[in-house]
Amino acid sequence: FIRTLSSTAVRNAAIKHITIIGGGQMGAGIAQVAAATGHSVVLVDTSDDILKKSIKGIEGSLKRIVKKKFADKPEAGEEFVQKILKNVSTSTDAASVVPGTDLVLEAIVENLKVKQGLFGSLDKVAPEHTIFASNTSSLPIADIASSTARLDRFGGLHFFNPVPLMKLVEVIQTPMTSQATFDALHDFSKALGKHPVSCKDTPGFIVNRLLVPYMMEAIRLHEKGHGSKEDIDVAMKLGAGYPMGPFELLDYVGLDTAKFIIDGWHDMDPENPLFNPSPMLNKLVEEGKFGKKTGEGFYKYK
Ligand code: NAI
């Protein structure tokens, strides 16, 4: 009993100080959740201006939560926000902060070479015990890890957008990821209040592997003239119980992102018809219509 207890304690103590690289949509969301669950977080990005925006975003998000939670006690709400914000510091120099960290979690631009360059340089300065993890949506974790000499302490932690609301985390194990590393990442996800699922290092992991071909198939159905995008969206909402139709979801995810993912998989496995590119998607991306974030994708936004 004592042995079990102490090994659990060691595992729970494993990840307390984390460095998150990339303070964009995902990195800031993960930082918020980690800080709110009592972890000390250093958020790293390329400039202080970006980091200021990240912290403002976190503060805004926390204030929205507080508005509901502390509706009749605004002072307690403000205290709650400030206490969480105290757990987050920022830096533009990853190499100088990783020596004090148990986990380096990367959420930077979706580019293999850039991710490899980052981890390769941090591998030299991070402590032995430090685990590295990537939040990549579409790149093989093993390819990113290959830039380091800590293949056993490297895994994937794939969060979902918006991070504070979405409960799922996919914990990805490459053939080289040790069981201790996997367990630590799994426990960390739970400590964040998330629901971890375990998956292997295959394209799209679980959610995107099913979701991206589904969205591409919806575009193909529309391209062939078999249904309007409005009807396809309504059909999937009312007939399959999905909260958003595939075109609404594509606009939310970003058409540039969807194209990037499907093109990457198509290059990897050109024979797989599920990974075929779509002329309609390519055209919209070419025109700069990326979805909600640019004001137009399959639909127009104000
Ligand atoms: P984003 O563009 O909002 O944020 C990326 C941030 O990384 C930017 O603030 C950028 O300045 C910073 N950055 C870029 N290179 C850097 C470097 N070398 N060092 C430090 N900071 C750097 O991107 P987003 O959406 O947050 O995605 C980040 C990662 O998370 C990508 O790998 C993406 O595939 C993955 N992801 C995205 C999801 C989404 O729905 N947006 C969902 C799950 C994973």
CB 110 near ligand 1, within 6 Å: yes
Residues 223 and 173 in one domain: no
CB 22 near ligand 1, within 6 Å: yes
Ligand 1 nearest atom to the CA of residue 26, by list position: 26
Q: Name the domain boundary from 200, 226, 254.
A: 200
Does pLDDT of 272 surpass 80?
yes
Ligand 1: which residue has its CA nearest to atom 1? 24
pLDDT of residue 4: 37
Residues 259 and 280 in one domain: yes
Q: What's the predicted TM-score (pTM) here? A: 0.91
Q: How far apart are CA 278 and CA 281, in angstroms?
A: 5
Residues 220 and 176 in one domain: no
Using the mean position of ligand 1's atoms as its centre, give its distance from the Cα of residue 147 in Å: 19
pLDDT of residue 297: 98
Using the mean position of ligand 1's atoms as its centre, give its distance from the Cα of residue 117 in Å: 15
Using the mean position of ligand 1's atoms as its centre, give its distance from the Cα of residue 93 in Å: 17
| Residue at 9 is within a domain | yes
Q: Name the domain boundary from 180, 200, 220.
A: 200
| Residue at 61 is within a domain | yes
Query: What would the pLDDT profile of 55-91 be if each residue is shown by its tens digit?
Result: 999 999 999 999 888 888 989 999 999 999 999 999 9
| Residue at 301 is within a domain | no
Residues 221 and 152 in one domain: no
Q: Are 31 and 39 in contact (CB under 8 A)?
A: no
Using the mean position of ligand 1's atoms as its centre, give its distance from the Cα of residue 111 in Å: 10
Name the residue range of residue 275's domain. Answer: 208-294
pLDDT of residue 1: 35
| Residue at 302 is within a domain | no
Residues 193 and 250 in one domain: no
| Residue at 18 is within a domain | yes
Over residues 120-129, the mean pLDDT reads 97
pLDDT of residue 238: 98
Q: Return the closest-CA partner of residue 40 out of 75, 74, 91.
A: 91
CB 166 near ligand 1, within 6 Å: no
CA angle 149, 264, 43 (to 5 degrees): 50
Residues 21 and 151 in one domain: yes
Which among 108, 167, 207 is the best mutation to test ligand 1's pocket, defined by most ligand atoms within 8 Å of the CB?
A: 108
Give the bridge partners for 19, in sequence order.
42, 104
Does pLDDT of 7 surpass 70?
no
Q: Return the closest-CA partner of residue 162 out of 49, 292, 260, 70.
A: 292
Residues 11 and 152 in one domain: yes
**CATH number (domain holding residue 99):** 3.40.50.720
Domain count, the chain: 2
Which DSSP category does 148 fall into?
S
Phi-psi region of 133 (alpha: psi -120 to 50; beta: other; left: phi over 0): beta
Ligand 1 nearest atom to the CA of residue 114, by list position: 18
Ligand 1: which residue has its CA nearest to atom 8? 24
Residues 84 and 194 in one domain: yes
pLDDT of residue 71: 87
pLDDT of residue 11: 45
Query: What would the pLDDT profile of 11-60 be if each residue is shown by its tens digit?
Result: 444 799 999 999 999 999 999 999 999 999 999 999 999 999 999 999 99
Over residues 136-158, the mean pLDDT reads 97
Ligand 1: which residue has its CA nearest to atom 16? 108
Residues 246 and 129 in one domain: no
CB 146 near ligand 1, within 6 Å: no
**CATH number (domain holding residue 237):** 1.10.1040.10
- Helix (H) / strand (E) element for 232: namely helix 229-240
Name the residues annotated as catalytic. Answer: 137, 158, 170, 208
Residues 67 and 167 in one domain: yes
Residues 46 and 65 in one domain: yes
| Residue at 191 is within a domain | yes
CB 23 near ligand 1, within 6 Å: yes
Ligand 1: which residue has its CA nearest to atom 23? 24
| Residue at 70 is within a domain | yes
Using the mean position of ligand 1's atoms as its centre, give its distance from the Cα of residue 21 in Å: 9
pLDDT band at 10 (very low <50, low <70, confident <90, very high): very low
Q: Name the domain boundary from 200, 233, 266.
A: 200
Q: Are 121 and 147 in contact (CB under 8 A)?
A: no
Between 255 and 4, whose confidence is greater?
Answer: 255
CB 181 near ligand 1, within 6 Å: no
Over residues 220-249, the mean pLDDT reads 98
Phi-psi region of 154 (alpha: psi -120 to 50; beta: other; left: phi over 0): beta
Ligand 1 nearest atom to the CA of residue 253, by list position: 40
| Residue at 299 is within a domain | no
How many helices, marked H, and strands, marked E, lie in the chain?
13, 8
Residue 72, CA distances (Å) to 64, 66, 75, 84 in order? 14, 10, 9, 20
Residues 51 and 180 in one domain: yes
pLDDT band at 3 (very low <50, low <70, confident <90, very high): very low
CB 42 near ligand 1, within 6 Å: no
